[in-house]
Structures are given as structure tokens and as C-alpha cells.
Amino acid sequence: GFSRSSFPDLASIWLLVDAGIPKETVTTCVDNVVHRLSCDLESVISVETSLYGRTDNVTCSEGTSPDRVSNTHCSLAGVADVVKKRCNGKKVCELSTDVLGGSDPCRNTAKYLQTTYACLPAFHRMTCEHSLSHLSCDQGQVIVVHGADYGRRDQTTCRYGRPANQIQNTACSSPTSKVAESCQGKNSCIIKASNSVFGDPCVGTYKYLEVAYNCQCKWTEPLS
């Protein structure tokens, strides 16, 4: 089975979504092609639902025989947790059905991967390996971590002066809950982007820490 998402479903997230932030849906009809989620400007991905299977006979049915779209009660368990872990807190997230481990929830049925997500306003921090990431909020506010990932996902971030062989691996992703565990609910927080904190997801690659967070008013207990 799949592990639970590293990031908690925070009350602040659904409050923001309920406040009228539009939801976006991406549907990919073919296995092992790119399923891409993205957000613009100062916002990051917050996955609401993700399905691999089939729940109607219309989606991705073009050119498919009726008997391959008739099973509308097909879904692979644990998909939302996998997609949340990989994508929450990022501006762009690309994956495909190969991250689901090759399980087939319904043979002989034409399946699709469908994800619904919101783009939440957030601060987006990229911190190079061996540097400190400083998260902070205004007085009276506390940090809410939407997601964090330690690794390398492109060849342009944190590349100055690094040899080519240290930046060529762009498939190094290690979503982590350690930033939330250290910083959640604090007014400010410093965390080091290093193997000593997060482990080494790809030996020989120069990595960086990507963090998305927001600030919310600190709730205070009413005086009795």
C-alpha cells in the first residue's frame, strides 16, 4: 500500500478553498504520459482528489469500445495520497501513472488519471544545499507549511559553480514532513537544507530545499 501524505490536510487549506479559490482538474487518458499540475504567480498546488480508474462512461471514451468503458466503479486505492505527497506545495508538478506501482484496479477497462486541485496563495522558498531557509510571518501570525521537498527537479536552480554531473539528475525528489514538524505554528523558523536534516535522496547530486508556506492569524483561547 501507499504511505500517508507527508503533509497534513490543514484547516486553513479548506477554508481558503471554500472562500472561493477556483478548483482545477487535469485528466490524462493514457498510461505513462505526463500528468501536469501547475499554478501561476504566488500560489502553490493543493491536491483535493485524485483518481486512477473510471467512474463514468464518457471521460476518455473517444475511440474506445463500449465494453471497455462500461465498468464505472473502478478506482485504485491510495492514489490521492501519492499525488498529494509528490505535488502539494509546488508551483509545477509532473508525474505519470508509473508512480502508482503498476497496479491495475480493473483489467480490460480503459482507465484515466484525474486530479482536482486548488492553487493556494503561498510564499515559495528555494534554499540551496548547506544554506539556511528562513521562514517568517508578521507579528501575531504563525507559519502554515503547505509542502516541502529536498532534492533536485531541474538543472537551473542552485547551479552556480557546480560541475555538470552534480546537477544532471533532475529526478531526485524527496517530499518531507520535517519542515512542518519543525516550523508549523511558529512565528519564525530556521531550517538547514542539508543531508544531516533530510537524509540524502541522491548521492552525488547538489540539492536544494523547496518550501511553500503561508501565514495565518494565531488563534487565541477566549478568556474565561
Do 85 and 141 fall into the same domain?
no
| pLDDT at residue 19, rounded to an integer | 55
| pLDDT at residue 220, rounded to an integer | 57
User: Model confidence over 43-74: pLDDT tens digits?
Assistant: 999 999 999 999 999 999 999 999 999 999 99
CA distances from residue 145 to 1, 135, 219 in whole angstroms, order as listed: 26, 10, 16
Domain boundary residue among 86, 120, 154? 120
Domain boundary residue among 103, 120, 137? 120
Q: How many folded domains does the chain comprise? A: 2
Domain boundary residue among 120, 154, 186? 120
Do 116 and 137 fall into the same domain?
no
Do 110 and 174 fall into the same domain?
no
The boundaries of the domain holding residue 28 are: 23-120
Do 129 and 157 fall into the same domain?
yes
Distance CA 184, CA 216 (A): 11
For residue 202, the domain's CATH number is: 2.60.120.740
Contact 144, 215 (CB under 8 A): yes
User: Model confidence over 178-190: pLDDT tens digits?
Assistant: 999 999 999 999 9
Q: Which helix (DSSP H) or strand (DSSP E) does residue 85 occupy?
A: helix 79-87
Do 139 and 110 fall into the same domain?
no
Indicate whether 130 belongs to any domain: yes
| pLDDT at residue 42, rounded to an integer | 85
Indicate whether 198 belongs to any domain: yes
Indicate whether 7 belongs to any domain: no
Indicate whether 53 belongs to any domain: yes
Q: Which residues is 144 bridged to in the sheet?
A: 214
Indicate whether 4 belongs to any domain: no
| pLDDT at residue 222, rounded to an integer | 54
CA distances from residue 55 to 82, 97, 106, 131, 153 in whole angstroms, order as listed: 19, 17, 12, 47, 33
Do 116 and 129 fall into the same domain?
no
Do 105 and 185 fall into the same domain?
no
Is a pLDDT exceeding 80 seen at residue 142? yes
Do 74 and 134 fall into the same domain?
no
Q: Which residues is 141 bridged to in the sheet?
A: 217
Do 144 and 115 fall into the same domain?
no
| pLDDT at residue 57, rounded to an integer | 96
Indicate whether 69 belongs to any domain: yes
| pLDDT at residue 6, rounded to an integer | 41
User: Model confidence over 94-120: pLDDT tens digits?
Assistant: 999 999 988 899 999 999 999 999 999
Do 83 and 144 fall into the same domain?
no
Indicate the pTM of the whole model.
0.77
User: Model confidence over 20-47: pLDDT tens digits?
Assistant: 678 999 999 999 999 999 998 789 999 9
Do 95 and 131 fall into the same domain?
no
Do 41 and 102 fall into the same domain?
yes
Model confidence at 195, pLDDT cuts 50, 70, 90, reads very high
Mean pLDDT of the 127-147 span: 95
Tell me the three cell numbers of residue 208: 536544494
